[in-house]
Amino acid sequence: MSTQGPRRDDDPYARIRAVIARIPAGRVATYGQVAALAALAGHARQVGYALRNLPESSDLPWQRVINQKGEVSPRSAPGYERYQQHLLEEEGVRFDAAGRVDLERYRWEPDDDRPTRRWKPPRGR
């Protein structure tokens, strides 16, 4: 009925969470990518906002969302970045010395079910 709250497909944050829930372990997606997949292109910041409001009890794989630079986004509470990186490393995501993930290698695509890409194609040369 019309007396109930926003339905899943109607609530932007619910759609954002639905997209994140689809990211397989060992893969990552960027904020902008999640927003676009949730039919909210241009609302990358809302993805971060949704995660900030995420209840502690949530089982959403929030750690698989990183920024376009390939690094875990800085956050108000220090220490969480280290925690997020740790969670990802346990899933097999490798970070370089600068604390960045190779997006070409670990970025998840909706139609991509494979675990992880083992190598990146050689650059033209």
Binding of residue 44 to DNA (CB under 7 A)? yes
Residue among 6, 68, 86, 104 that touches DNA (CB under 7 A) = 68
If we measure between CA atoms, which residue out of 57, 110, 117 comes closest to residue 92? 117
Q: Please check whether residue 37 is in contact with residue 65, taking contact to mean a CB–CB distance below 8 angstroms.
A: no
- Check residue 121 for interaction with DNA (CB under 7 A): no
What Rg, from alpha-carbon coordinates, does the chain have? Answer: 16
Q: Which member of 14, 18, 62, 91 binds DNA (CB under 7 A)?
A: 62
Residue at token pair 């927003």: 35
**Residue 54 lies near DNA (rule: CB under 7 A):** yes
Interface of this chain with DNA, residues 72 to 101, rule: CB under 7 A = 73-76, 84, 98
Q: How many of the chain's residues bind DNA (CB under 7 A)?
A: 30
31 is an interface residue for DNA by CB under 7 A: yes
- 105 is a contact residue toward DNA (CB under 7 A): no
Q: CB of 25 within 8 A of CB of 62? A: no
Question: What dihedral angle (degrees, nearest 10) is formed by the CA atoms of 74, 39, 29, 108?
Answer: 180
Closest contact distance (angstroms) between CB of 69 and DNA is 7
